[in-house]
Amino acid sequence: MDRRRRLLATVGILTGLFLGALDATVVGTSMPTIIAELGGLEVYFLVFSGFMVCQVVAVPVFGRLSDLYGRRRLHLLGVVLYVAASMACGVSRTMPQLIAFRSLQGVGAGCLMALSFTMIGDLFPLEQRARMQGAISGVWGISSLAGPLLGGFITQHWGWPWVFYVNAPFGVASALMVQGAWKDDPRGADGRPDLPGAALLVAAAGALLGAFTAAGRGVGWRSPLVLGALAASLFFLALLVVVERRTKRPFLQYDLYRSRLFTAGALTGCCAATVLFATTSYLPLFVQGVLGESPTRAGLILVPMMVPWLLASGCSGMLLLRLGYRNMAVTGMALSTGGYVLLARLGPDATWWGTALPLVAVGAGLGLTIAPLLIAAQSSVSKERMGAATSLTQFTRTMGAALGVAVMGAFLAAALAAHGPTVPGAPSANDIVDPLRRRAFSQEQIDLWRLPLAKGMHGIFVIAAVAGAVGLLLALFIPGGRAQDQAVKREPTVAAPGAKS
């Protein structure tokens, strides 16, 4: 591939990554306003859990399919799915519709996530990928800073549907650049897709989403319906392990867990991802619902986390060579846990700045943890298994985060049900999170819901702090020593078929 086409393909791939990265902070900022209009605070978490569960299913499936059938068509499929689902989210008029379309959006995001990192590996030899990590970190950093501002501005001035419509131009631009520049030779991988494994993975995710949905609608986590769905999900996961161990080329290669570096790093990353999604999913709700701030101010609350995250992530590559994986993970998880311990002390009388300052520690800790642990997973295997290690790491992280967000959502729903007001004329919880609608009520009426909401958010902060503490303990099991000494020796990288001219 000549230099011009390689540059065009790279920009297109990074635009696709920007599309997915922007979504996390933009949607999180707009959600309090969305639930004020559509209702459904009790199923708030499903907008995020449904997206993440479907994303985690799509990553290994599309990663394997791209090995068999090439990257170009599947990248286009991912963009089409993501943009179409985004437009459908914008026209949703009920919370179940939004949850369903967000889940479909998660499938497209998983496809783009799997294809983007793999295509970068195709385009560049091993010695140039370190530079590309800087570009990828820059994409995530820009989207992290722009997302809260953009989400708050769009929600307040244009309306929340445009939070989803804004994905269309980025998706179209990414598709045009990649399709115009990428020349996909036959992959050279033999064999058929692992259809039984994919079917079991989809069944397990579907049963898990069914349990989340039933519990969020007030059935209760102890009901036979929810327990049956959870049992079905566990059964499908257990059967998936059996099937994948007997498959020649499985989607998920569980034997990687035999490596202590891979396992401890993946599980620590799972806890870090739970802390991350607790922040992006629930902090805007706390600021808008409990503190009574505007959507723009609710979006800005994520900036104090994103700036130190970007700075720490940018320095992590250099620090990793000096400190090693364990020291980096221990330091990062300690900072993130400490930040959430401070957040757990906040109540209804908290201020915006009092909420923002602990997020500096949370962001710095995540920046020191998330990217280095992915590098640890990739370094623990040979070059031929790097894609499998990356997919399984993302699978572990996202599934754990989805479960964590669901538990937090169930706790919030239970707190609102237990402590919410029952007096006649009291506003609804959906009224309180909308700055315009809450003006129609007196401060006494607002406090009837602010206090229960603050109790529920306190429980979420405690859960995130516990997840961080568990991650800190797991980080101690990561092997010590220099990162260079723990990397599996690899042969020089050969040009990938997709990178040929």
Give pLDDT, residue 364: 92
User: Is the predicted pLDDT of residue 230 greater than 70, yes or no?
Assistant: yes
Say if CB 2 and CB 501 are below 8 A apart: yes
| CA atoms 467, 472, 476, 481: torsion sign | positive
* pLDDT given at position 205: 76
d(CA 66, CA 404): 30
Whether the predicted pLDDT of 356 surpasses 70: yes
Rounded (5°) CA angle 140-142-146: 115
Judge if pTM exceeds 0.85: no
Name residue, tokens 């437009």.
Answer: 87
* Sequence-distant (≥ 6) Cβ neighbours of residue 90 within 8 angstroms: 161, 162, 163, 164, 165
Return mean pLDDT, the chain. 79
Helix (H) or strand (E) holding 382, with range, is: none
**Dihedral pair phi/psi, residue 142, rounded to 5°:** -60, -45
Using the 8-state DSSP alphabet, how is residue 43 labeled? G
Class in CATH terms, 1-184: mainly alpha
- Please tell me if the domain spanning 1-184 has the same topology as the one spanning 258-491: yes
The stretch 31-43 carries a mean pLDDT of 76
Residue 103: C-alpha distances to residues 21, 52, 88, 106, 261 (Å)? 16, 8, 11, 5, 32
**pLDDT tens digits, residue range 182-212?**
877 655 555 566 778 778 877 887 787 777 7
Mean pLDDT value across residues 376-381:
74
Q: What percent of the chain has pLDDT over 70?
A: 80
pLDDT, tens digit, 9 for 90 and up, residues 58-107: 877 787 777 777 788 888 999 999 999 999 999 998 888 898 899 899 88
How far apart are the two ends of the chain, measured CA to CA in Å?
3
Burial of 79 (0-12, 13-18, 19+ CB in 10 A): buried
Rounded Cα–Cα distance for residues 75 and 19 (Å)? 13
Specify whether the CB–CB gap between 359 and 305 falls below 8 A.
Answer: yes
The per-residue pLDDT for range 391-436, each reduced to its tens digit, is 778 778 877 887 787 788 878 877 887 777 776 666 776 666 666 6
Domain residue extents for the chain: 1-184, 195-248, 258-491
Q: In whole angstroms, how large is the CA radius of gyration of the chain?
A: 22
Count H helices and E strands in the chain, helices first. Answer: 17, 0
* Residue 387 Cα distances to 16, 241, 382, angstroms: 19, 19, 10
**Phi-psi bin for 221: left (phi > 0), alpha (psi -120 to 50), beta?**
alpha
Mean pLDDT on 153-169 = 85
**Domain at 258-491: CATH code:** 1.20.1250.20
Q: Find, among 205, 198, 199, the residue nearest to 249 by Cα.
A: 198
Q: Are the beta carbons of 41 and 35 closer than 8 angstroms? A: yes
Give the model confidence (pLDDT) of 234-262 as tens digits: 898 889 888 877 777 776 777 788 888 88
- How many CA atoms are closer than 13 Å to the CA of 356, on its beta-carbon side? 15
- Cβ distance 198 to 244 under 8 Å? no
Measured between alpha carbons, how far is 197 from 281 in angstroms, rounded to an integer? 31
